[in-house]
Amino acid sequence: MAEIDKEKLKAEIRRLAQERDAVILAHYYVDGDVQDVADFVGDSYALAKTARGDPRKTVVFCGVTFMGESACVLNPDKTVLIPETSAVCPMALMVDAEKIRAMREKYDDLAVVCYINSTAEFKSLSDVCVTSSNALKVVRALKNKNIFFIPDGNLGRFIAEQVPEKNFILNDGFCHVHTSITARDIETAFREHPGSKIIAHPECMKEVCDMADFIGSTKELIEFTESYGAGSFIVCTESGVLHEMRKRSPGKQFFSVGARQVCPNMKKITLEKVRDCLAGMAPRARVSEELRDSSSRPLERMLELASR
């Protein structure tokens, strides 16, 4: 698509958003053009709070489907649009209800802590939700000794290492983008870009985190590169975040560690699909009233504990 066409399309999206009384939210992992047309760009925690607080009656959530579900749960009186219904996060499905029930039977004083990267069904079976930004704070605030962390085992391990007084039971879910990054990839990237700071998302494997100079959520990684004096960074997370990093720090260099750092589901969100969902007010994120009630409790508890 020619650049002039993109600008016309963005203008059309902004016009439709105004007509529909819509706020456009975009995750850092979607295409840079979609980020540029959004009212707010952020990680899952920031966008969850933004959807809750924005006065507009329609929310366009540019991200994978669980994010639209969460916005729908937290905003029962708003219309939540999702530009692409097939943009599903595989990790969000990597747990099952029977395993959660078995853990509750096996462990006394258990808190089921659910990463926000999960379906509304699994949220409803949990005690509290977390994001990579607030997981440590929320887990420390829980009185429970035993923590069953779902669905991402790598983030659970990262938090467990910092809270040794609690007993973590880790699930075997994972993000295929982050687990595709290996120590060998980083070694290769560092040889090509010596002196660069290595930064990693906690969804990465332990061998990657052990090599990192800084580990943090998407937002924390961006803020680190903005504030740190180093001129170049090897970025171990989904490549979409480089768009925001380059915007905030145009004088610095950012390198990915390979072509596998792309989430194909996030990249399904295009300008055309954002335009079409606003034009037709569809597709919509829909959650049954029963599921909304049961899944809202752990989300509400997350917002409460994270704000203390």
pLDDT at 130: 95
Q: What gap in Å lies between CA 237 and CA 251, rounded to an integer?
A: 21
Q: Which two tokens stand for residue 184?
A: 């060998």
Residue with tokens 């504030």: 227
For residue 7, give every residue at least 6 positions away whose Cβ sits within 8 Å of its Cβ, in sequence order, or none: none
pLDDT at 46: 81
Burial label, 108 (beta-carbon count in 10 A; 0-12, 13-18, 19+): exposed
Q: Are 214 and 224 in contact (CB under 8 A)?
A: yes
For residue 259, give every residue at least 6 positions away whose Cβ sits within 8 Å of its Cβ, in sequence order, or none: none
pLDDT at 48: 75
Angle at 246 between CA 241 and CA 249, to 5 degrees: 125
pLDDT at 276: 98
The partner residues of 255 in beta bridges, in order of sequence, read 234
Q: What gap in Å lies between CA 18 and CA 165, rounded to an integer?
A: 50
Q: What is the pairing mode between strands 214-215 and 197-200?
A: parallel
pLDDT at 200: 98
Q: What gap in Å lies between CA 206 and CA 209, rounded to an integer?
A: 5
Q: What gap in Å lies between CA 306 and CA 308, rounded to an integer?
A: 6
Predicted TM-score (pTM) of the model is 0.93
- Per-block average pLDDT, block size 10, for the chain (308 residues)? 77 98 97 97 84 94 94 92 97 96 96 95 96 94 97 98 98 97 96 97 98 96 92 96 96 92 97 98 94 93 88
pLDDT at 1: 46
Q: What gap in Å lies between CA 94 and CA 8, rounded to an integer?
A: 40
Q: Are 228 and 221 in contact (CB under 8 A)?
A: no
